[in-house]
Amino acid sequence: MSASAQTQSRGTWTIDREGMREAGKVQLSLHHSHKDQFGQDFALSDLKGLDPHALDSDGPVKFELVREAGTVQFEGTFKKGVGTGTYEFASSPTFLAKMKAMGFQGLEDEALALTMVDVTIAYAEELRSLGFKPDLDHVISGRIFKVNREQVEGLKAAGITGLSLDKLVECRIFNVTPEFVREMRAKNPNVNVDQLVEARIFKTTPEFVATMKQEGYPDLTQEQLVAFKIHNVTPEYIKEMRAVGFKDLTADQLVEFRIFNVGGDQIRDLSKEGYTGLTAEQLVAFRIHSIDSAFIEKVKKSGYSHPSPDQLVEFKIMGIHKAQADI
C-alpha cells in the first residue's frame, strides 16, 4: 500500500457522561480490537453533529470527527448518559502522501492515532523548524502533550535549552513551566532539568525550601530536599525531635531517623527503663536491632540491672547469657 492510498478501519466507541472532567468536553474511547484501545478528552465542538443534549437523552446519534489526517464517523445510541456504537475511519490520502514526502514511516499503522490527536502537516513542520528530526511516535507524543514553539522558546527565555523531545514531554507531564524554572532558579541558580522534574514530583517547591530554612536548614541540596520529602521529614517532625533533646541534627541524621522510625515514642519508651540521653547513633542502632523496653526487661530478668547501650546491642546479636555478677 502506498502512503497516498486511503487507510480504513472500523471498531466500537464509548462515551460515559460521568467521565466528563471539564465542561464542554467528553472522554471518547475507541476499541479497534481486543488489544487496541484509544481514549482521549474531546471538546464537544470537535464532534460534529453530536448535540450536547444527546448526552442526557436516550436515543440514536450520528456524529463525526474531521481532522487533517482523516475522518472518523460515529453511529450509535445514548442511554442514561452512556453512549456506545460503531465507528468507521478513513485517512486522508493527501495527508499521508505529504507526511511520507517528509520522510515519515509507518503512516498506515498510525493513521487513526494521527487523526485522533490531530497531528497536522504544520505541526510536523514546526517540530522540524525547532531543530528536531522526530519519528512518528515522537510527533504523536509531542502533539498529545502540546510540545510546541511556545514551550521551547519559553523555556529558553528561562535559561533551559537543548532539550530533547522526550525531555520536553516530561516537562509538560510534570508542569515544569518557564515560571517554575525562574522561581526555582531564584533559590538555586544551578538547578537542572532533571532536578526541576524531581522538584515537581516530590513537591520540593520554593515554599518547601523556605519552610525548611525557617526550621534552621537553609542550605539543603536538591538531593536532601527530595530525601526529606521521600522520608517525610516535616517541620512537625523536626520540632518533635527538638522537644526530646535533639536540637542540632544534621539533614542526613533527620533522614536516617525517619528511615529507622526514630521518634518521640521510642525515646519515651526507652526512658521508662532509665535510658535517657542516648545519642543519635545509639537510637538508630536500637531500632536496627529492635531494642525496646520489652527487650530491656528481658535482659534485666537475666541479672543485668542496667547494661550499657553497647551491651544491649551485643545481647541482641549474640544472645543473653546469665549474669555472673551484677554489672
pLDDT tens, residue by residue, 189-232: 888 999 999 999 999 988 999 999 999 999 998 899 999 999 99
SS3 (DSSP) at 60:
strand
> 30-38: long-range contacts (C-beta < 8 A, 24 or more apart)?
30/72, 30/87, 30/112, 30/116, 32/112, 36/11, 38/112, 38/113, 38/116
pLDDT tens, residue by residue, 31-51: 986 556 788 889 999 999 999
Rounded Cα gap, residues 141 and 128, in angstroms: 15
| DSSP string computed for 24-49 | TEEEEEEESSSS-EEEEEEEGGGEET
pLDDT tens, residue by residue, 133-143: 999 999 999 99
Give the pLDDT of residue 1: 40
pLDDT class of 179 with cuts at 50, 70, 90: very high
pLDDT tens, residue by residue, 52-86: 888 888 999 999 999 999 999 999 999 988 999 99
Query: What global pTM score does this model have?
Result: 0.80
The pLDDT of residue 132 is above 60: yes
Q: What is the mean pLDDT of the chain?
A: 92
pLDDT tens, residue by residue, 94-111: 999 999 999 999 999 999
pLDDT tens, residue by residue, 257-273: 999 999 999 999 999 99
Rounded Cα gap, residues 58 and 233, in angstroms: 54
Look-up of cell digits 517554575? 180
